[in-house]
A = this chain, B = another copy of it.
C-alpha cells in the first residue's frame, strides 16, 4: 500500500505520455513545503488570495458558498490533483477547498509556475492540457446535472471516481472507499441527502451496488454504465503538437537556435 509520492505527483502528466529526466527535474522545482492537514481543515477559502498546491495524499472537496449560505460541492480532488489552479485567474478565490481526510499537500508558488512556463514549454503545455482535462470533466458533470435524474447522477459519479482512482491504482476494480458523507455526495450531484439515500436504496435493491458507510462496491458495472450514460473519455496519447522537452537532443528542430 506504499505509493511513491513522486509517482503520484506526476501522475496527471504521465497520462499524456512519458517524461524526460529533465522534465522531472523541472517539475521538482515547483515543489515547496509539504504540509499535513487534518480532516475538516481548509486548504484555502473563498475570498482569500489564490494559493497553489498539489494534493499528495488524501481527498479534498471544492465548494462554493452562495450569499444565502447554501454550500454546493463542486468537485473532489484525489492525490495527484492540483488545488487552487482555476483561482489563479481571479483576484480572490471563487471556491473553498476542504480536507475530506487527513491530507498531505505540497505548496507551490505561482512564481515557480511562471518560471516553469519559461524554462520548460513542454511542461507548460502539459499543465495546459491537464486543465483541459479538468474542463472536460466539468462539462460532463454539467451535462449530468443538467440532463439526468438522481439515479443517473449517482451512477455517473461512481463511474467517474472509479476511473480516476484506477488511473493511479489499476488494482481497483469494484470496490472504492469514498471518504464523503452522503450529504457531500448529495451536494456533489445536486440533490438532497434524503433523496440520495432513497436512490442508494433503489440501487441496492436492484443489486447494482453495495454502499456501506464509505465503502462502495459495484456489483453490476454494465447496469451502472447504462445509467450513467456518458461515453468514457480517452486521453490524447502524446499529442503531436506538444513542444519537446528542452533537454531532448533532437537535431531536427528547424527553429531558431535559442538556448
A→B interface (CB under 8 Å): 16, 50, 62, 64, 66-68, 70-75, 85-92, 94-95, 109-111, 113-115, 117-119, 121-122, 124-125, 127-136, 138-143, 145-148, 187-190, 229-231, 233-237, 239-243, 255
A114 partner, pick from B118, B119, B243, beta carbons under 8 A: B243
> Once the chains bind, are B234 and A91 in contact (CB under 8 Å)?
yes
Q: Report the Cα distance A258→B226, complex, angstroms.
A: 54
Contact (Cβ within 8 A) A242 B114: yes
Q: How far is the CA of A250 from the CA of B72 in the complex (A)?
A: 45
B146 touches A72 (CB 8 A): yes
Docked Cα-Cα span, A174 to B135, in Å, equals: 31
Contacts of A75 in B (CB 8 A): 139
- Give Cα A81 to B57, complex, Å: 36
Give how many copies assemble into the complex: 2
With A72-B143, A89-B136, A146-B190 known, 4 other A-B pairs at CB within 8 A are A62-B139, A71-B147, A86-B136, A94-B231
User: In the docked arrangement, what's the CA distance between A189 and B122, Å?
Assistant: 37
Q: How far is the CB of A172 from chain B (nearest CB, A)?
A: 22
Question: Roughly how many angstroms separate A50 CA and B67 CA in the complex, as a whole number?
Answer: 39
Closest B residue to A237 using CB positions: B91
- A118, A148, A237: most-surrounded residue (chain B CB, <10 A): A118
A139's contact among B95, B146, B189, B235, by CB below 8 Å, is which?
Answer: B95
Chain B residues with Cβ under 8 A from A233's Cβ? 90, 94
In the bound complex, do residue B133 and residue A89 qualify as a contact, i.e. CB atoms below 8 Å apart? Answer: yes
Name the one of B62, B127, B240 contacting A128, with C-beta atoms under 8 angstroms.
Answer: B127
**A234 x B92 contact (CB < 8 A):** yes
The distance from the CB of A110 to the nearest CB of chain B, in whole angstroms, is 4
User: Could you say which of B124, B132, B237 contacts A87, with CB atoms under 8 Å apart?
Assistant: B132
Q: Are A139 and B94 in contact (CB under 8 A)?
A: yes
Report the bound CA distance from A231 to B128 in whole Å.
26
Q: Which residues of B contact A147 (CB under 8 A)?
A: 66, 70-72, 187, 190
Chain B residues, CB < 8 A from A115? 243, 255
